[in-house]
Amino acid sequence: MSSRAGPRSRWLPWMMLGLASLLLVGSVVLVVSGLGQSTSPVAGYPSGPGSQPWTGLGPDGSTRGGPGGMTGSSAGNGMMGGRVWLAGDGNAVTTIAAARARAAEAAAPSDLHPGEMMQFSENFYVELKDSSGASVTEVLVDPAGGTVVTEYGPAMMWNAGNRTSTMSADRATALANQWLQANAPEQRVGSGDAYPGYFTMDTLSGGNTVGMLSVNAATGAVWYHTWHGTFIAEEDA
């Protein structure tokens, strides 16, 4: 019997190798194309591109979903995570004036100063501005001990450090109202500010401020701020 291999025998190993390579490439493509497509936020951070469906926590803490945009869930209450601008001194902060003083002390080394202040049951929200009056970032002041930290969510994850996005404030407002219509139809967008990489807006119900949300200026993602608690008062500057 001849031991010489025929044409089919010689090509068979190469055909098998080629098939295996195609399967491997296909698997990689599937994995890569699936990145960012998840409709279930993980650990409080947004997932999925703006054109995909989304699910997440609504203003009341329940799971909501709908078309267009995406959302992240709460980062949790308390003063955990993020940059500490000023360590607490153990003294309770009970007024907006006291919170402004803490924020001003924290921001001064960075040549920033407090703008809008909002008091909630869980924390004080502070807008930080530069010398030109432009909104730069957002911080929270802990009412229990005065610690000042970068706000959860958008201020940590979306602040791009520049204002190169082409999304207009009107477009961001429209996306925010679309999200609210699907998740909290009793609310609508109020006033807002443009930060490097995103917008943050107050939400209103019956003409009264009740909360806040942010819109990513590059993707249109919507992130409702679920960590503030009940709105108490506000002061602009």
Reported confidence tier of residue 27, pLDDT bands at 50, 70, 90:
very low
Q: Is the pLDDT of residue 62 over 70?
A: no
What DSSP designation does 167 have? -
Residue 149: strand pairing partners: 84, 140
Q: Number of C-alpha atoms within 13 angstroms, CB side, residue 112?
A: 20
Answering whether pTM is above 0.85, one says: no
Reported confidence tier of residue 19, pLDDT bands at 50, 70, 90:
low
pLDDT tens-digit series, residues 226-237: 999 999 999 987
Give the lowest-confidence range in 58-62, 113-117, 195-199.
Answer: 58-62
Q: Residue range 158-169: average pLDDT?
A: 86
Q: Is the pLDDT of residue 214 over 90?
A: yes
Reported confidence tier of residue 212, pLDDT bands at 50, 70, 90:
very high
Pair type for strands 222-224 and 188-195: unpaired
Q: Residue range 163-182: average pLDDT?
A: 92
| Matching residue, tokens 């999200």 | 179
Query: What confidence score (pLDDT) does residue 15 get?
Result: 53
Pair type for strands 208-216 and 222-224: antiparallel
Q: Is the pLDDT of residue 159 over 60?
A: yes
| Matching residue, tokens 């930060």 | 195
Q: Is the pLDDT of residue 172 over 50?
A: yes
Reported confidence tier of residue 36, pLDDT bands at 50, 70, 90:
very low
Reported confidence tier of residue 138, pLDDT bands at 50, 70, 90:
very high
Q: Residue range 86-90: average pLDDT?
A: 94
